[in-house]
Amino acid sequence: MEWINVLLVGLLAGTHTATWGMYKDSVHEGFTYRKYSRSILVALAVAPIAYRISGLDATRLGDLVVFFGLVYVSERGVTEFWKVFIRNEDQSKYFIPMQFHVNGRVLQHPGVRLAIGIPYAGVILALIFFIDWVQDTGAVPFWVLLVTLGGLGGWVSAVGGAWKDAPIEGFEWFKFFRSPVVATLYAWMLSNFTSELWLIGLAAEGFTVATLETWKTFFFPSRPRGKFAGKPILFPDMLEMRQYFIPVYATIWVIVVSGIVLAFLRGEGA
């Protein structure tokens, strides 16, 4: 049952990500089940690894809540690293390039991009170890660490997003602070299920991405993603077809939120 739960969480997280991505992008670049399944397969692949590293217990509902956020952010990290630093793709279809670029100028050489991407990933890993080290010292009260470092994933996302997007679409203060604030709030919620701050920070960012992408995608369906701003709708048939995926997406949210509520009711605290 333990490993069934691990794979089930991977399936839910991957399908959730794949669905909002498809919903926003398919009208511009079409739909294929191969592309739709990408995030699902990545999430299923990273879930067992993340579970072994995390030390969570997949038989406890509170731990599964944290694990969902952890798998979510892990899938996003792997997929985005591949798209930004490894994948070669025609960038002319985008308003904001998806490959690594400087002020809109894409670095074409994959070796150069990878030489930048590996140290970048190293910095992220170093931050995770730093958070764990600071907590282990016991020199700072947990609540202070939670407020200052619990939303660190949101700050990394905000800084990275601003560096990548702001030179092209402009800088917005609300957009910049949105991820850190939401991530900190989720960190507070997740601290009820685990006391490991590095897990809290990663899972909080996973929930933040899931929440903000839901808000941007399904509450403003006619607003194109930044990367497709000003680009024409090339596949108008997807405006109708994509609606059939909404029940699946909503069901996953119901399962996740129900899990959170039940975990609180059961008192599965850290």
Half-sphere exposure of 235 (CA within 13 A, CB side): 15
Mean pLDDT of all residues in 183-199: 95
**pLDDT for 192:** 93
Question: What percent of the chain stands above pLDDT 90?
Answer: 62
> Residues 25, 71, 157, 229: what is their CA dihedral angle, to the nearest 10 degrees?
0
Q: What is the pTM of this model?
A: 0.92
- Render pLDDT for 38-59 as a digit per residue (tens, 0 to 9): 999 999 999 999 999 999 999 9
**pLDDT for 19:** 97
Better-predicted residue by pLDDT, 170 or 135: 135
186 and 69 Cβ atoms separated by less than 8 Å: yes
pLDDT band at 84 (very low <50, low <70, confident <90, very high): confident
Q: Which residues are registered as beta bridge partners of 183? A: none
In which region does residue 103 sit, left (phi positive, over 0), alpha (psi from -120 to 50) or beta (all else)?
Answer: left
